[in-house]
Structure 1
Amino acid sequence: MIRSALLTFAACLAVASPALAKKTTKIQAAGTASRVEDFLPPKLTPDNEWNLDLSDGGRVVIQLRPDMAPKMVERIKTLTAQGFYNGLMFHRVIEGFMAQGGDPKGTGEGGSTLPDVPAEFNDLPHVRGAVAAARAADENSANSQFYIMFMPNLKLDRHYTVFGRVVSGMAYVDAIQRGEPPATPTRIVRASIGDVPPLTAAQLAPPPPVQAPAALPSGPITPTPVTPVTPTRRRH
């Protein structure tokens, strides 16, 4: 009886894919925010800064915490180096709660081809701007998906692996389009690690719409003769 109740409670707290965890129950924000300085280690290094250039026009800088979640931080760095996160959308964004992304399927059911990451629950709290690994009901099922907290929710502490916190660009996180999924989702245009210049406004802008083809002329069309071209082999 007690075991069943505990399993039900854990499932309700899950921030994970709908297929694996039936989505999370909407949990009201709880607790109080803390200063960013209290959250971060004494020494900050560029090789642990995760940059997300978003389609809503700005850069979000997340300070990673390998001292608290080394395996998850290593996973983030590996996938970022592969370009895995480039173009992925925030597929589950709940007002007053969090923005979840990192799924190549965009449904909450996907992940990378790498093995799942074991749980690294720690003392970092789910305060505003905290970044943590999404998972299914299995505590050891984190992979590529992550979420960023809009508001504090300390009920999630020690149930999910917090591996970083936003230190710059939280206004761009606040601007992420809401929905499950959003009608016009915000995307990660490029993810990078370290001292990498932000993308320009032109690079962040969506591509221009495709023009409709012109109407074909009426009447018969006379084919134009084509001069044969001799293929040439490129030198390598």
Structure 2
Amino acid sequence: MDVNGGRVLIELAEAFAPQHVKNIQQLARQHYWDGLAIVRAQENYVVQWGDPEEDEAKRRSLGEAKTKLPAEFDRERQALPWQAIPDPDAYAAETGFSLGFPVGRDSQRAWLLHCYGMVGAGRGNEADSSKGSELYVVSGHSPRHLDRNITLVGRVIEGMSVLTTLSRGTGPLGFYEKPEQRVSIERIRLASEIDTADRPRRQRLSTESASFAKLIEARRFRHEDWFVNKVGRIEVCNVPLPVRRSPESGD
């Protein structure tokens, strides 16, 4: 997403929200978001973007994308790789990482977590009222009470500063009250559709690797001299996901 003079890179979570991801990909191919806007920036909560037109009849057409999607709040836990956080959590029986994303699970189901930088699809009161066209990113303290209540579709892997430095909305829930306050979106594209020479490419540390397991332990037991209390535990949303630019990246 190119917006406000910067670029935001988002990794989609197809394994957890396949129908939403498919719709988002279709909307991006249609250049649906180009020229639309960031409509909400709520302090310590979320930044949201989409069509600011309140009149449904005047809103931009979704074209070939679906106009209604099923809720994808969780999925079967089987067949997912798993790197556990050994410490207790207030919202899930177990937490950890799978396929690069923070995840909670119980004996049968697994679901994405509302950690900083996670991207979700806004909805109405009905659980299946999301279209994937109104998206938000968690920009403050992790609102874990939203877990399994909204479909999460991915996470920002680079460019959070582009969004967190936006002026806060002055309306209820951080919405911009006046059209001139909104921030126009230049474009949203799939990386695969950007010319090879200009395509951004990133590498993230595999959350199934031994290196990531060591990272978790290093964050649980802080060995830096500054720490008087070595802590000995961690909350899943406080584990960083290392991402670096690939040597062949075009940006």
Residues 74 and 103 (structure 1), Cα distance of their counterparts in 2 relative to 1, 3 Å cut: same
Q: Answer whether contact 2:44 2:139 (CA < 8 A) is retained.
A: yes
Residues 102 and 111, structure 1, Cα contact 8 Å, conserved in 2 = no
Instruction: Output the TM-score relative to the length of structure 2.
Output: 0.54
Q: Could you tell me how far 1:104 is from its partner in structure 2?
A: 5.1
Paired residues, number: 146
Q: Provide TM-score, normalisation by structure 1.
A: 0.57
Read off the aligned partner of 1:189 and give its amino acid letter: E
Structure 1: unaligned runs, 5 residues or longer: 1-51, 199-236
Query: CA-atom RMSD, angstroms?
Result: 2.1
Residue of structure 1 in register with 2:24 after alignment: 76
Counterpart in 2 of 1:193?
Answer: 190
Matching of residues 39-188 of structure 1 within 5 Å? 52-54=1-3, 56-103=4-51, 105=53, 107=54, 112-113=61-62, 114-122=66-74, 123-143=111-131, 144-151=133-140, 152-179=142-169, 180-181=175-176, 183-188=180-185
Partner of 1:45: none
> Greater strand percent: which structure?
2
> Which runs of 5 or more structure 2 residues have no equivalent in the other structure?
75-110, 170-174, 200-251
Q: Secondary structure at the match of 1:189?
A: strand
CA contact (8 A) 2:45 2:138 kept: yes
Aligned partner of 2:247 in structure 1 is none
User: Does the C-alpha gap of structure 1 residues 104 and 82 become closer, same or farther in structure 2, counting only changes over 3 Å?
Assistant: farther
1:90 alignment partner, SS class:
strand
Three-state SS of the structure 1 residue aligned to 2:183 is coil
Alignment-mate amino acid for residue 173 of structure 1: L
Structure with higher Rg: it is 1
Measure, in 2, the Cα distance between the counterparts of 1:87 and 1:145.
14
